[in-house]
Structure 1
């Protein structure tokens, strides 16, 4: 069994002082490097992730921070970024189709009155990066503003994420807190598919991924719109990812939105969420990126460890 990777030191010995063990996850200091777009995470000389915080994109894509690319430790590409069919799909991202009167997902809105996806003027909002308040590989904290189609402030978000080594890969822990800037925030979803939440658009090797979930269902079609604690996806040519829903999240276990090349939470499938003034919405997820599929028993063990931890970065 290989020891966890330690940035700048090759493989990390069991007694490495940079390690703190939390169940089966090892907090081992990957290297964080800042760049013009945001931050990169490296294991030695290998790029694992780029977090795009400030990239300028067309307003029609509802610009939002995202992770793209993401790679396995062996170099397998996990994400697809701005594909021709849906340019607003940006790797691993938080997307919200309806927030008050704004589109924080991108693309057209589905209009019930026409039963079509239509362009709606001044509808595309922005999840705007305001700045980083902490920058470490095992703990990045970011402030964001949610702006509507006319650049009016709707909400403030605090987002935190960290990368941790685990056998055969790594885990990305990500948390967010959303607070309305005005009287309330109404978060809805597409009136057709109702997708919204943390979503992964998978790369070419995952274009026809094999999905399975904590409840024993297999295949993206059977998992779509069903509840599960976690969902995993295996690439046709190797590589495996698993997205997990923390038990402290609202509507846990979450409903899922899954396609052959897409893995996403569907927090709003069951209906809108309203956040009143003075209240907040918190979400906590774990995202595992592994070289091989360890099987549902091992994924369930990793989930149990995640579920037992506080609903925040460890």
Structure 2
């Protein structure tokens, strides 16, 4: 049986997932360490549609630390694992390199290709600047449901972060520190420059008013440069994330912008800090549908509902 993808591992640098037949590199997961000012951490770039169009940005001139799709922590117990300037209430963004930390690749436990796609599981350590690890993360990336019928494929990102300090870890954002509508932290997507002023869609709303609000999914559609056409990315909470907080989990809120650039993050510390006690684990799982074309709300609802989640594995 012909497998849907091939996986190429350039050891010490990156993993590539390539669609068989077309030869399109659907994603490149880069885990080499990069510039210390940019809070080195693994990231996905490029991320592509099935037709080969790139739907991520990398090191834009406004924020060099924005790199495709990556897990971030903008305010973590006084450290900045986001990159660049740090927000200080009353003073704005300041160059404080002593605060900028990193998320370091520690190894892969599993790298596998199967009939329906591919997956890999990684171990990482989270560090303040020049210090001992504050946290350990187990991360699983899955590529699946690669369908020419729907013109889309699915990426599932699972992260389980365990506090290894002897005191609580406090996850925050610029908003928890006093800046309105800047609740970015957690999984973060930066779109390509051409996606500026794109379309934002949620189950019951559209547009920038979704900033700081809650919903089980949020979609962003943009138009390509160079090639004709559009693409849609749908960011989806898994059921166990309990994105409303109704079941006792810390509630998530969307950070989303279409201007001056395209960005989406299902922030877990938008309005309030998330406190992770010593030895406790913060587990979150997200899905990103990467589609050619512009999907309307009915299409998004149908496609999101058609994919099952299965059992969550930390």
After TM superposition, the score normalised by the length of structure 2 is: 0.85
Report the CA distance between 1:189 and its aligned residue. 1.2
CA contact (8 A) 1:77 1:205 kept: no
Q: Give the superposed CA RMSD.
A: 1.8
After TM superposition, the score normalised by the length of structure 1 is: 0.85
CA contact (8 A) 1:31 1:43 kept: yes
Report the CA distance between 1:146 and its aligned residue. 0.2
Report the CA distance between 1:295 and its aligned residue. 2.3
Gaps of 5+ in 2: 224-228, 245-250
Q: 1:173 aligns with which of 147, 150, 156?
A: 156
Report the CA distance between 1:310 and its aligned residue. 3.0
CA contact (8 A) 2:14 2:31 kept: yes
In the TM superposition, 1:19-98 aligns within 5 A as 29-35=4-10, 36-44=12-20, 45-54=23-32, 56-98=33-75
Residue-by-residue CA offset, 1:127-178 (whole Å, 9 max, x unaligned): 0001111112422000000010123210000000110113212100110100
In structure 2, the residue matched to 1:4 is none
In structure 2, the residue matched to 1:298 is 299
Structure-1 separation of matches of 2:69 and 2:312 = 20
Q: Secondary structure at the match of 2:50?
A: coil
In the TM superposition, 1:183-194 aligns within 5 A as 183=166, 184-190=168-174, 191=177, 192=179, 193-194=182-183
In structure 2, the residue matched to 1:118 is 94
Report the CA distance between 1:298 and its aligned residue. 2.8
Structure-1 separation of matches of 2:88 and 2:77 = 15
Q: How many residues align?
A: 284
In structure 2, the residue matched to 1:228 is 215
CA contact (8 A) 2:252 2:269 kept: no
In structure 2, the residue matched to 1:9 is none
CA 1:307–1:272 in 2, change beyond 3 Å: closer, same or farther? farther
Structure 1 outlier segments of 4+, above 2 Å: 250-254, 301-313
